[in-house]
Structure 1
Amino acid sequence: MSMRERKKLEKSLKPHWVWAIAFGSAIGWGAFVLPTDWIGQAGPLGVVIGILLGAALMMVIGVSYGFLIEKFPVTGGEFAYAYIGFGRKFAFMAGWFLTLGYICIVALNASALALLAKFLFPDLVRTGNMYTVAGYEVSIIQIAIASLALILFAWLNIRGASFSGQTQFVFSLILILGITLLAVGAIFTEGPSITHITPAFNPEQTALASILTILAIAPFAYVGFDNIPQAAEEFKFEPKKAFGLIIWSLLAAGLAYSAMILITASTMPWQQLLTQINQTQSVWGTGDAIESYLGRAGVFIIAIAVCMGIFTGLNGFYISSSRLTFAMGRARILPDIFRQLHPKYKTPYVGILFTMAICLIAPWFGRQALLWVVDMSSTGVAIAYFFCTATAYKFFRWSDGEKANDSDKTIAPGKKLLSLIGMISSLGFLVLLLLPWSPASLGRESYIALLIWILIGVVFYLLNSKRYNSIERKEMNYLILEKEEI
C-alpha cells in the first residue's frame, strides 16, 4: 500500500445538519443536569453572565476557526491547524488532548442516560447495585443502559454521516421544543418567580469570582462547536458558510444554557432549592425543580429534552472523535487501521469502534470518577483552541508595512486582533483551570488524571514518532491537508 494513498470522506453533510451537530454537541446533557451545581457555585446571575461571556469568547475564537475551515476544509480540525502553524510535535499534542476530550464527553453522555434512569426509576436501577466508587453506587442496570446507548450510537454513526446529520437535526429541534415548553410552564404556572433568583451571586464570594468560576468551564460547556471543522471534509456546501454556522450554534447554545439556569432558579428561592436537594440527597436537582411546578408532566418533558441532549452529544462526539483519529491515522501518527473506511458506508468505522470500546469501560467506574477525567479534559480543549487561534494569527497581517516575507499573508488587522484575543482567552482558560489558587482550579483527582494522560501521550509518541517524522514535509502536507504546499 503506497504511503501516498490518502483516503477521503464523502461529501454528504448539509448546512442545517452541521449546525445541529455543533449546537446539539455543545448543549448535550449539561444544560439539564448541571444547572443546580452551577447555581450553587456562582448564583443564578453569576452563571448566566459567565455562560454568555463564555459564548462571546467562543465566538471570538470562532473567527479563527471560520477562516481556517475555509482555507483548509479537511477533517482533523485542530490537529491539522496545529500542524500548519507549529509542526508535527504540536499537532500530535493538540490531537492527543482533543481525542481525550471527545472520548470523555461520549462516555459522560452515556452515563447521564443512566443517571436519568436512576431518577425516573430509582427502585429498578438500585436492584442491581454491585459496589460504590467515590460515594456513587454502581449498578448493573446503569452499566447496561449506558453500554446499550454507546453501542446503538456507534452503529448509527457507522451507517453514514448523512444519517447521523439527519437524526441530529431532529434531536436538536425536539430539544429546543422541550426548553420552550419548560419556559412557558414557568411563566404561566403558580410558584416560579423571577424574585427567586436573588441573591444574584454566590454570597460566599465576590461577583467577579462567581463569574470567573463559570467562565473557566466555557471550553467544556461549548465544546461541540469545534465539531464543525472535524466534519469540514464532508461538507456538501461551500466551506465559507462554516463561520456563520459556528456563530449561530454558539448563540443558540448560550441562550439554551441561560434559559435552563433561569427556569431552574425561578422555581423557588435558589438557596432553599439547594438545601432541599442536599437534604434529600437528590440524584437530579434540576428534575426536582421542574417537578415542583409542573409535576410529572414536567418531569416527562425534561426527561425527553435530556434524552435529546444526550443523543445529540453522543452523536456529535462520535463523529468528531472518529474523524480526528481518522485524520491522525492518515498522517501515520496512529496505526494504519485508523485510516480505513467502511467498505459499504465509507465511514471511519475503526475510530467509531475505538471510541465505543474505550467508553464501554467507563460505566463500571461510576459517574463521580468519570467527572474527574472530564474536568481535566477541559484543559485539552483549551489547548486545542489556543493552537487554532495562534495558527490563524500567523496568517494575518496588521498592515502593508510588514516584512517582505509576510507578503503572502492576508492584511486583516481586525481578524488578527480577534485571533490575538482568542489566543489570550485560551491561555486565560488554562490559567483558571491549572493554577491551584484559581476559583476554578482542577481538583486533585483531575490533576492526577491529567498527568497520567500526558505520560501515556509521551510513551505513545515515542513509539510512533519514527515513522511520523520520517515522512517528507510535502508528503505530510498532502496527507493532512491534501496539498503539497501551505
Structure 2
Amino acid sequence: MEERSELKKTLKPHWVWAIAFGSAVGWGAFVLPMDWMSAAGPLGVIIGFSIGAILMILIGVSYGYLIKKLPVSGGEFAYAYYGFGRYHAFFCGWFLTLGYMCIVALNASALALLVKFVLPSVAMQGLMYNIAGWDVYAGEVLIACIALIAFAYLNIRGTSLSGLMQFIFCITLIVGVILLVISMILHPSSSFTNIQPLFKPGVSAVAAVIAIVAISPWAYVGFDNIPQAAEEFNFSPQKAFKLIVIALICAAVTYSLTIIATAVAMPWQTLINQETIWGTGDVVNNAYGTIGVLLLSLSLCMGIFTGLNGFYVSTSRLLFAMGRASILPRAFAKLHPKYETPYVGIAFTCIITLFAPFFGRQALLWVVDMSAIGVTIAYFYCCAVAYRLFRWSESGNNKTLAVSPFKKFMTLLGLVSSIGFLLLLIVPGSPGFLGKPSWVALVIWVILGLVFFAVKRKDLASIRKETLDYNVFGKTLDHGSAPLSDENDIAKKDA
C-alpha cells in the first residue's frame, strides 16, 4: 500500500459551524429575495424555506451519524463507497465535484454583480461580447478572477487561516443582517402592510410554498461541507449533527430576515415589476442612500466570501479524497510541503473556475441549476447508506447494523426527502423542473463522466478492496464490517 496522506486536525467547532452556515447562506439571501417573492409571495418564501430547513435537518441526521462513524475527508464519496462500492463512489463524487465547483464560480460572479451595481463604472469596462442576453465586460471578468485567485491562495496558506476567516466573515454577515432588518423596519416609509398579499396572487398557497421547497437543496447546499472537513476536526465528530442543525436554523432565519427587510420597504408586487439589477439594493438605496447600500454591500460581500471560502474547502477535500483513493490521479492527494493543505485540488478548482466568468452569468446559472441534481444525488447516497446501517429489530446476523428503529425511521424520512427533491428537478411540470439549457449541460457532464469512467474503469477495478479501504478510511475493513462491501462488487471479480 502507498503511504496515505492525512490532513491535520485544526478545525474548531465554531469554525466548522461557520463553514456550514456561511456556505448555506452565500450571496442568494441578499440578491434573490425579489425573485423568490415573485414566485411565492413573502410568507410563501418564509414558510417554504422553513420547511426546506426541516427537511434538510432530516437529511442531516444521516450526515451526523456517518460523520461520527467515518470521520474522513470525502463525505458522500466515502459514504457511497462504504455502502455500495467503488463504482457508486465514482458516480457520487463525479456529480458532487461539479456541484461544488459551480457554486465556487457562481459566488465569484456574484461579487462582480455587486460591483456592477455599486461601482458600475469599474465593472462595466471593456464590453467583450454577449452570451444568452448577458453583456460580458472585461471589468467584471477581472473582478471575478481576482476573487477566485485570492481565495485559492487563502486556502493554500492553511486550514486554520481559512477557518478563522470564515468565522469572522459569518459574524460580520450576521451583524450586518440584523442592522439591515432593524433599520428597514424602523424607516418612516416602511410598513408591514407592504407585505400584503402574503402569497403570490393567482397561485394556491400550497403551490407557492412547494415552489420554494423545491429550491431548498440549492438554497441550503453548504451544510454538507461539514463531512468534507471531518478529517480535520480537532473535536469529537459526535458534535457534527448539532453543528449541522444550528447552521441550518441560522440559514433559515437569515433568509427570512432578508425577505422581511426587502418586503417592508414598499409593496412587494410593485417592487418585482420594476426592471432592476438588484431589487434589495434599490429599496435600501431609496431608504438610506449610500450608507445603506454600503451596509448591505458589506453583508453581501461576507455572504460571497463565506461561499467562496467554504466551497473551496469542500471541493479541495473531495478531490483530495478521490485522489487518495486513486479514482482521480494521485497528485490530488499531495499536501503542500509547508502548509499541509491539499493544494493540488485547490489550484485545480481555481484553474477550472477561472473559465466561468467568460461565459456570462446567465450561462453559468444554467450549469448551476443542473448541478443541483448532483448535490441531491449526494444527499440520496448519504441517507441510503445510513438507512442500511440501522435495523428495525434484533433480526439479522450482521453485528455492524445497529438496532435503532427511531434512527432507521429518521434516515428513511431523509431518504424520501432526497428522492422528492430529485423528482422536483426532473419531473416535467414540477416547480423546480430544469430548463432546456440546464438539461443540455447535464447531458454533457454525464457524457464526460462516462468517457472518464471508461478510461479509468480497468485501473479502478484492479485496486484491491483492502487497498481502497485503507486509502479511503485509513484502515482495512473486515469483510463483514460494511453492510454492502465489495464482496458483491463487480470490481472484486475484475481484480
- What's the TM-score, normalizing by structure 1? 0.97
- Measure how far apart 1:210 and its partner are: 1.1
Structure 1 match to 2:172: 174
Specify the code of the residue in structure 1 equivalent to 2:465: R
- Give yes or no for contact 1:65–1:229 (8 Å, CA) kept in 2: yes
> Which residue, 264, 268, 281 being the options, matches 1:287?
281
Cα distance in structure 2, aligned partners of 1:302 and 1:249: 21
* Mapped pair 1:223 → 2:228: no
Structure 1 residue runs of 4+, over 4 Å off?
Answer: none
Cα distance in structure 1, aligned partners of 2:467 and 2:124: 56
Cα distance in structure 1, aligned partners of 2:374 and 2:399: 33
**Which range is displaced more, 378-387 or 472-481?**
472-481
* Mapped pair 1:313 → 2:310: no
- Measure how far apart 1:108 and its partner are: 0.2
* Mapped pair 1:297 → 2:291: yes
- Measure how far apart 1:475 and its partner are: 1.5
Specify the code of the residue in structure 1 equivalent to 2:409: L
* Mapped pair 1:419 → 2:417: no
Structure 2 match to 1:186: 184
- Measure how far apart 1:292 and its partner are: 2.4
Structure 2 match to 1:150: 148
- Measure how far apart 1:439 and its partner are: 1.8
Structure 2 gap segments, 5+ residues each: 482-495
Cα distance in structure 2, aligned partners of 1:12 and 1:150: 24
Structure 2 match to 1:60: 58
Cα distance in structure 2, aligned partners of 1:466 and 1:5: 22
Structure 2 match to 1:468: 460
Q: Please state whether the residue corresponding to 1:406 is helix, strand or coil.
A: coil
Structure 2 match to 1:123: 121
Cα distance in structure 1, aligned partners of 2:328 and 2:386: 26
- Measure how far apart 1:192 and its partner are: 1.7
Cα distance in structure 2, aligned partners of 1:127 and 1:237: 48
Q: Please state whether the residue corresponding to 2:72 is helix, strand or coil.
A: coil
Residues 372-451 of structure 1 aligned to structure 2 (within 5 Å): 372-400=366-394, 402-403=395-396, 405-451=397-443
Cα distance in structure 2, aligned partners of 1:475 and 1:429: 35
Structure 1 match to 2:199: 201
Structure 1 gap segments, 5+ residues each: none
> Which residue, 3, 6, 9 being the options, matches 1:8?
6
1:319-361 per-residue CA deviation (whole Å, 9 max, x = no partner) reads 0000000000011010111111111101000100111011100
- Measure how far apart 1:294 and its partner are: 2.3
**Which range is displaced more, 311-320 or 204-213?**
204-213
> Which residue, 244, 253, 256 being the options, matches 1:255?
253
Q: Please state whether the residue corresponding to 1:268 is helix, strand or coil.
A: coil
- Measure how far apart 1:411 and its partner are: 1.2
Cα distance in structure 2, aligned partners of 1:128 and 1:426: 44
- Measure how far apart 1:188 and its partner are: 1.5
Q: Please state whether the residue corresponding to 1:366 is helix, strand or coil.
A: helix
Cα distance in structure 1, aligned partners of 2:401 and 2:327: 29
Specify the code of the residue in structure 2 equivalent to 1:267: A
Cα distance in structure 1, aligned partners of 2:204 and 2:462: 54
Specify the code of the residue in structure 1 equivalent to 2:73: T
- Measure how far apart 1:317 and its partner are: 0.2
* Mapped pair 1:366 → 2:364: no
Cα distance in structure 2, aligned partners of 1:20 and 1:302: 20
Structure 2 match to 1:84: 82
- Give yes or no for contact 2:185–2:264 (8 Å, CA) kept in 1: no
**Which range is displaced more, 164-173 or 458-467?**
458-467
Q: Please state whether the residue corresponding to 2:376 is helix, strand or coil.
A: helix
Cα distance in structure 2, aligned partners of 1:127 and 1:452: 32
- Give yes or no for contact 1:333–1:465 (8 Å, CA) kept in 2: no
- What's the TM-score, normalizing by structure 2? 0.95
Specify the code of the residue in structure 1 equivalent to 2:176: G
Cα distance in structure 2, aligned partners of 1:338 and 1:439: 38
Specify the code of the residue in structure 2 equivalent to 1:347: T
**Which range is displaced more, 314-323 or 407-416?**
407-416
Specify the code of the residue in structure 2 equivalent to 1:143: V
- Measure how far apart 1:102 and its partner are: 0.4
Residues 229-240 of structure 1 aligned to structure 2 (within 5 Å): 229-240=227-238
Structure 2 match to 1:342: 336
Q: Please state whether the residue corresponding to 2:136 is helix, strand or coil.
A: strand
1:124-174 per-residue CA deviation (whole Å, 9 max, x = no partner) reads 322311111111111000010000000000000000111000000000000
